[in-house]
Amino acid sequence: MKISMRGLRQALLCAALVAATSAVAALAPPAALAVEANEVLADQALEARARSLSGEFRCLVCQNESIDESNAQLAHDLRVLIRDQLKAGRSNAEIRDFLVARYGQFVLLRPRFEMPTLALWLGPFLLLGAGAVTLVVRARQTRSAAAEAPLTPAEQERLAALTEAKPPG
């Protein structure tokens, strides 16, 4: 295999570009949280609990972000609601149950393992298992069909010619 100087330069340039991009990505700060200054609680322990809880709930507008990351007005309202509940002395479990009762299991980024969410949790594994069973059954059917089919006269002649041929040397 012959590598030209131009090809070598292009490969080195691509490798340098990938390395530079990786370095920039590694040095970049993590995604900024959407929590506004007026939302932050003075009590650091309550604020830590609020941040922890905010990371568990899905933004109902964005649907793929936690309310801690979302800039949507509803996410802001939910963050304020959580902080109000914390100031009122509610536990994390009580706040979680309150939001689930109000918005349903969908508000949780990691839904609970319960009967209504059984398909959500087990569905991918069942589909994967069904796919594996289907592949095994199809492979066995193909193998048995190939073993049962007799050779045609042309195939028998070709096989005889190949087995009779002696290797050079």
Span 19-41, average pLDDT: 59
* Residue 10: inside a domain: no
105 and 146 inside one domain? no
**Is residue 168 included in any domain, yes or no?**
no
pLDDT confidence of residue 141: 86
Q: Does 6 map to a domain?
A: no
Higher pLDDT, 112 or 51: 51
**31 lies in a domain?**
no
Residue with tokens 């594996």: 132
152 and 137 both lie in a single domain? yes
The range of the structural domain enclosing residue 53 comes to 37-112
Q: Is residue 64 part of a domain?
A: yes
C-alpha–C-alpha distance, residues 54 and 77, integer Å: 11
Q: Are residues 107 and 122 in the same domain?
A: no
- Domain contains 123: yes
CA distances 139 to 128, 132, 134, Å, are: 17, 11, 9
Neighbours of 90 (CB within 10 A): 15
Instruction: Please give the tally of structural domains in the chain.
Output: 2
User: Is 76 strand, coil or helix?
Assistant: helix
Residues 53 and 105 in one domain: yes
Q: Could you say which of 112, 129, 149 is where a domain stops?
A: 112
The pLDDT of residue 133 is above 60:
yes
Q: Where are the alpha helices (DSSP H) in the chain?
A: 5-27, 44-54, 73-87, 92-103, 118-148, 153-164
Q: What is the pLDDT of residue 31?
A: 44
Average pLDDT, the chain: 80
Verdict on whether the full-model pTM lies above 0.85: no
Chain segment 31-43, per-residue pLDDT in tens = 445 666 667 777 7
Q: Are residues 53 and 78 in the same domain?
A: yes
What is the pLDDT at residue 95? Answer: 92
